[in-house]
Structure 1
Amino acid sequence: MANYIYDNLLIEKIDIFSNSFKNTSREIFYDDKLNRIYHNGEYGVYRESLVVDFLKFFIPSNLEISTGFIITSLNDVSTQCDIVIFDPNITPLYQGYGKQRFFPIESICAIGEVKSKLSKSDFKLAINKLAKNKSLSERLSDNPSVIKGRNNNGFNRDQIYDLVPSFLICQKLDFDFKKLPHEIDDLYDSDSDSDSDSDSDIDYRYRHNIILSIEDGIFSYNALGGKLVPYPHIRGNKNKSRFVMPDDNKYVHFRYFTSYMYTLVSSKTLFYPDPCEYMGEIGGGIKIDQN
């Protein structure tokens, strides 16, 4: 059973987003004489704005979307994230004079990357970058206070809702994506479960939650029972990869994406980003006490 109002609005939004991402953006920024995209920076910003507008249709309205860097109280800083979904009610405005925005890891609900056509090598770079940024989920001070979550016992690295969800949106996978479920293990850097101490190792739980290719389909995971799920692991079990391509239902991958993005950001545990943990040592000074 479905609500025809919501479904028709969703289809309209998908059509506008898909056409704008694939066609309008190229028509605006493509130089026929030079046979290439000009103003690549503005081209990327335009596509990111299309993604933001699309996301706003189905994620909770109490969340906001921006771009910027993740920081932690343990002095980590991520590479720039194209999309940061966060709770503005608990997120301080850490911003430099150049308007670069820095987000404390505790109040982030999801991070995403926006790409055009991806070769296999570019795809590998994108998912590993996303995974390394997601790994900052664990870089919390001891016993952070839970603001919203399923338990009040602090951070649990094996709890799927405590890790920051990650997603990738691209126009097209410019390689044989039908082999992707079988090749994905080789595209990620080595799993740290292998007892390696390499900084490049990517633990399985840091892998993407959802990859949406507008032209090709959606890439996520197959849980026990055969259901597509947006989590690489559940209760310590590694879920196998699954790619779903559109058929007669040309919107199937978008429907999965909108449903699971709502689930991911709504279920994310939020912690208190204690400013005292982010600033330098609070001590010293000349104190004068009341008699």
Structure 2
Amino acid sequence: MDGERIQKYWSNEIDSLITTYKQFELLIPDDEKDCSAHKGEDGRFVEDLISEYLKKYLPKSIEILTGFILRPAVKTGLKSKTRKDETDSHSTQLDIIIYNSYEYPIFQRFGNSVIVPPEGVLGIISVKKHLNDYDIKKESIALYRASKLCRTLDAKGDFLRGPFLALVSAKSMIDKSKTENHDWIFKKLKESYNITPKPYFDDLLGYIGSLDEWSIFKRRPNKTSKEADYIYFNHKDYESHLGLQYLLTGILSVFYDSSRNNVNRPGFTAFPSGRDADKFLGKIEILGLRK
């Protein structure tokens, strides 16, 4: 397998993204007082930047939106009453919602801010300008809850593959002197999912990363697996493509999954042949692949 051209292409694209971010930091330098006074706006520029890059490469039927997921307790399909014992429920505000608006409707829209039903959600991304210690548990739990809202059925009554979940930052501020940063992050991630009942594989974060620095990725298991493996990559000089490729690969893997689509997934991303992870971080117990 080759794919070297694709790897170089994605590396150039992510380098361009990071350069744009650094230009923003040059013009609007980080000030601690300003940061705390405007926490809600902290990652807005990075959020817009990532959204624009995803829009460039994803199929036109996929929209990059922001807002809420609303799961109404109503009949689905022609006659399914699987939600008859539920109540209407919704997510917290989500930074990026990747949505199949070609096949699914939207409750409410104002620009790119929306309220959408769960069936069309292909991915959910939490974006941070700077990734801090408290973000790992807080965001993984919020994304887990949003993922649970998206447990839906296809026309045959089978479970759809859940949305791809990611936590992305332009820069990591996590700095642990007594342990490796990636080991500490995985420990916090494992604590977040130490719940009863155990989560399904689809409910776990698929990617955590600082785009041009490092990536933590969730390996896809076989259908009978009861554990999810997490691996770590420290980006080398020629590997800035990894972060963007993992995001695109995760979203497209849901979009082209047989549970959602009968179109064959194209060859669009290319990872280095023989490039092993820098570290196997560990396993998280799961109930199974999905529900």
TM > 0.5: yes
Distance 2:213 2:135 in 1: 16
2:194 pairs with 190, 195, 202, which one?
190
Distance 1:178 1:99 in 2: 34
Q: Which runs of 5+ in 1 are unaligned?
A: 147-152, 195-201, 222-228, 272-291
Task: Tell me the SS of whatever aligns to 2:150.
Answer: helix
Task: Tell me the SS of whatever aligns to 1:249.
Answer: coil
Following superposition of structure 1 onto structure 2, how do residues 153-172 of structure 1 map, counting pairs within 5 Å? 153-156=156-159, 162-172=161-171
> Is the CA contact 1:218–1:257 (under 8 Å) kept in the aligned structure 2?
no
After TM superposition, give the deviation of residue 133 of structure 1 in Å.
0.8
The question of 1:128 aligning with 2:117 is answered no
Task: Tell me the SS of whatever aligns to 1:117.
Answer: strand
Distance 1:164 1:246 in 2: 26
Which letter does structure 2 place at the counterpart of 1:72?
A: R
Distance 1:192 1:59 in 2: 36
Which moves more between the two structures, 256-265 or 110-119? 256-265
- C-alpha RMSD over aligned residues: 3.1
> Is the CA contact 1:68–1:100 (under 8 Å) kept in the aligned structure 2?
yes
The question of 1:258 aligning with 2:253 is answered no
The CA deviation string for residues 20-75 of structure 1, in whole angstroms up to 9 with x for no partner, is: 23x2332343376x864475555533221101112123322321111010011221
> Is the CA contact 2:66–2:94 (under 8 Å) kept in the aligned structure 1?
yes
Distance 2:113 2:241 in 1: 36
- How many residues align? The count is 239
Following superposition of structure 1 onto structure 2, how do residues 26-175 of structure 1 map, counting pairs within 5 Å? 26-30=25-29, 36-37=34-35, 40-74=39-73, 75-95=88-108, 100-138=113-151, 140=152, 144-146=153-155, 153-156=156-159, 162-173=161-172, 174-175=174-175
Q: Which of these two proteins has the greater Rg computed from alpha carbons?
A: 1
| Percentage of matched positions with identical amino acids | 19
The question of 1:15 aligning with 2:27 is answered no
Following superposition of structure 1 onto structure 2, how do residues 232-251 of structure 1 map, counting pairs within 5 Å? 234-251=223-240
Task: Tell me the SS of whatever aligns to 1:85.
Answer: strand
Task: Tell me the SS of whatever aligns to 1:30.
Answer: coil
Which letter does structure 1 place at the counterpart of 2:192?
A: Y
> Is the CA contact 2:121–2:150 (under 8 Å) kept in the aligned structure 1?
no
User: Structure 1 residues 104, 182: closer, same or farther in 2, change over 3 A?
Assistant: closer
Q: Which runs of 5+ in 2 are unaligned?
A: 74-87, 262-291
2:207 pairs with 207, 210, 214, which one?
210
Distance 2:11 2:62 in 1: 23
Residue 220 of structure 1 corresponds to 217
